[in-house]
Chain A
């Protein structure tokens, strides 16, 4: 949204050319300038600049929705708002399960079962909607190389024996879980940024990253000077991209 070109914000052609001579081509550049600078650059009067500012803002601003509309949307399709974890007390506390459209974080000391939980969620996501799943593919970004496909099949077979009664169904399920092994922060970030098209093409309904902390701790030593800033930079950038993906596609992450 921010990188939207001014041309598409419906400003007049000559104004756009004039602004591009000052290297202002996107809405971002335009809105970052102060009033006086804008007047100098566009050569227009105070009130006209105000009107221009509003026009450009309208091109970038988010759409309004009332809370009521959001609730209606959620209640129209209750199954699509949560991915049930099949642990009843957990689901009750979470109001239905892992929420779709937002980030959920799982933390614990080592050995408590985080990776097992992630594997189970992957199985659940591939189940059809009628059985409480999401009926789609899963993207699993593994940084610790802890994912075991055999364990996946074991869980699927034991938990839902009636559904996974044939080998074919098992293959189908395993085919829809896409595993990516990333070992550095940079590659994790790159992978996250490239996910958008994959989500659409593979009909992904769940993204799991196991785990964020391990790769960050490996690379960034907080005792060194500049690393704290870089680490938080990496984390917030990754977080905002993931949030965007979660909300855009209404999937749990």
Chain B
């Protein structure tokens, strides 16, 4: 009740008038009443009433917060968080080595950043994830939908169709091996058409469209509440050219990062960003580092760096709050993102005591 008038979310002109009239705390405002307020400040009675309603709402929120009401606040104990995290799903990447390194897959409510040189497989992984997020729960997925925001134009629908077909086939194999009711039922809805129709695609041509889209995302996600994955493919591209004012760029990027964190938390979605690499010219050699500068490094919770080693693609977990740093090889096949096959593995879809979360290793049909 002792809240200062200057901190209330009112229009600035109104606030200056209130302060000039001598009101210091919210309590003073509430005591005066709308008629008195309108006379003293010179605003209409309706406006005065609105002001008082805003004040009451704010104070009510304050009181609830100080009384420790649990649902108005974001405060909870670490035990509750632990339970939540353990129950949380992961979005598998179909490359079990990478999933192990990540602790199960791409985590929901966290921002994962994928950096890499051009052509190394970032967009492939994003397309794979957009399909994998839709895997039904009985097969070990999160049964969600995906939003794909593309700034570079590298989204190829035919490729996604290939990946989706391979994923459906994979699930069919598992269902045949297990022969359980809910598996077969889930397979009826898990088809190529349904996968493609639940990937919502936005093509942003420059950073303003990207900003606008991210501002509108919360509304979109409230309408489509099943979305569990937001991919922004190429967050560096619109910010890297034509930007003379670096401080503006940092500010906009930080604002974007905050918006995305809020979206990830509120809607229990995973946010995946892809970043480009830039060369840092050191004393005697140059190294490849993620683009957008040091301050952007704080935005993502988990950072993966993809790079080449001769002709093998490697993924390194560069930054993660819970997993160890390690490097694993991966492959991009015609079916999508996969493990590198050790040569002596034979395919056997029948010998499965496996739980649905482990995927059978298949030989690639080339």
A residues within 8 Å of B by Cβ?
1-2, 27-28, 31-32, 34, 39-40, 43-48, 53-54, 56-71, 74, 95, 99, 102-103, 232-233, 236-237, 240, 243-244, 246-247
Contacts and interface: CB of A to CB of B under 8 A. Distances in A.
A66 B196 contact: yes
A45 B199 contact: no
A104 to B, nearest CB: 12
Interface stretch (B62-70, B209-217, B266-274, B345-353): B209-217
Given A102-B153, A247-B203, A237 B241 contact: yes
Given A1-B209, A236-B241, A243-B153, A57 B216 contact: yes
B240 interface: yes
B12 interface: yes
A243 B207 CA distance: 15
Contacts of B216: 54, 57-58, 61
A103 B204 CA distance: 17
Interface stretch (B19-27, B33-41, B78-86, B157-165): B157-165
B215 A54 contact: yes
B230 to A, nearest CB: 13
Contacts of A53: 215
A45 B208 contact: no
A2 B208 contact: yes
Given A43-B13, A67-B160, A71-B158, A56 B212 contact: yes
A32 B248 contact: yes
Given A60-B212, A247-B203, A43 B219 contact: no
Contacts of B242: 233, 236-237
A74 B198 CA distance: 18
A45 B7 CA distance: 12
Contacts of B240: 232, 236
A251 to B, nearest CB: 13
Interface in B145-170: 148, 152-154, 156-158, 160-161
18 contacts: A2-B206, A27-B208, A31-B215, A32-B211, A45-B9, A45-B10, A53-B215, A61-B202, A64-B202, A65-B201, A66-B200, A67-B130, A70-B157, A71-B157, A74-B157, A240-B205, A240-B206, A240-B237
Given A1-B208, A240-B205, A247-B153, A64 B241 contact: no
Interface in B203-249: 203-209, 211-213, 215-216, 219-220, 237, 240-242, 248
Contacts of A246: 153
Interface of B: 9-14, 54, 130, 148, 152-154, 156-158, 160-161, 193, 195-209, 211-213, 215-216, 219-220, 237, 240-242, 248, 251-252, 255
A173 to B, nearest CB: 30
A34 B202 contact: no
B12 A43 contact: yes
Contacts of B213: 57, 61-62
Contact of A70 (B14, B201, B212): B201
A20 B200 CA distance: 36
A62 B203 contact: yes
Nearest to A29: B208
A61 B160 CA distance: 24
B212 A64 contact: no
Give the secondary structure class of A's interface.
Answer: helix
Nearest to A42: B11
B201 A64 contact: yes
**Residue among B14, B201, B212 with most chain A CB within 10 A:** B212
Interface centre among B153, B193, B207 (most CB of A within 10 A): B153
Contacts of A66: 196-201
A159 to B, nearest CB: 28
Contacts of B158: 71, 74, 95
A246 B193 CA distance: 27
A34 B211 CA distance: 12
Given A62-B202, A68-B196, A236-B242, 5 more contacts: A45-B11, A57-B211, A67-B201, A103-B153, A233-B241
Contact of A2 (B54, B157, B209): B209
A234 B10 CA distance: 45
B232 to A, nearest CB: 13
Interface centre among B9, B195, B220 (most CB of A within 10 A): B9
A246 B153 CA distance: 10
Contact of A232 (B54, B201, B241): B241
B209 A60 contact: yes
Contact of A57 (B197, B205, B212): B212
B170 to A, nearest CB: 19
